[in-house]
Structure formats: C-alpha cells, structure tokens
Amino acid sequence: MKNITLITFATIALFIASCSDETVDPTVDPRDKFTGSWLCQETVTGSPAQSFTITISKVGSGDSVKISNFSNYGTTSPQTYAEISGNSIVIPFQNITTTGIPVQGSGLYSSNGGEKINMNYSTDGQSATAVCTK
C-alpha cells in the first residue's frame, strides 16, 4: 500500500511539473534578452518602410529599459522608456525627451527563427509596426 501511495504521488507530481510551459529563473534579468542593438524594419501608415538601428539598455534595477533611436528619431538625446515583463515590452504613453513627440505601444520578443521583437505603436499620431532583429 505504501508503494502505491508513493507511485501515485510521484505520478501526480510529474504531471503537474509537465503542465508548466515556462521555466522562470529568478537569477536571470528578463530585460537581458531585449538589450543590445536591433535592426528595425518599420512601417508607418501612409509612409514607405524604413530601416534603422535601435539600442535597448537597462535602466535601474527594476523592469525598465530605454530605447535610443526609437522610430528613427535620433540616438543622442531622444529616448523612449519601456517596461519589460517576460517576453513583453510595453511603451507607456510619453513624450520622447527633447523632441516632445508622443509615443506609446507594445511588443513581443520571440526567439523562433532568430531573435526578434514585433512591435505595434503610435508615433506622432500615426500607427506603426516594426520588426526588429538582432
């Protein structure tokens, strides 16, 4: 009887463990997969597609990052701030520093077929999409 209880418990534990599709490592910063230089292919409603590079850097010790050259607005002082949660990036409504251009949006990181971030956002009142790859 003791063996049956042990086998039943082990089977239930394995079943529960197999149901989890994401392993979370508390020692890994979720921002790490987003940081670095990304080549973006952006399409803004009513304009031809353009390619440019953005750089994503960590800010502080929380979930924040800054994006330099967001929507190809420049790399020196205009920066856009975003928040990371798992594979998601959220750009809360803000005016890009020094330019005053309003932006907001979100995106999703994927590593299927190479690292990429698919983003949808509004920039200066226009809808835009971007696919950024490393």
Task: Write the CATH number for 110.
Answer: 2.40.128.420
Does residue 117 lie within any of the structural domains? yes
Domain-embedded: residue 51: yes
Domain around 58: 36-133
The model's pTM: 0.77
The parts of the chain modelled with pLDDT lower than 70 are 1-25, 77
Asked if the structure places residue 106 within a domain, the reply is yes
CA-CA distance, 76 to 100, in Å (whole number)?
15
Q: How many structural domains does the chain have?
A: 1
Q: Residue 77's pLDDT is what?
A: 67
102 token code pair: 């309003």
Q: Is residue 27 part of a domain?
A: no
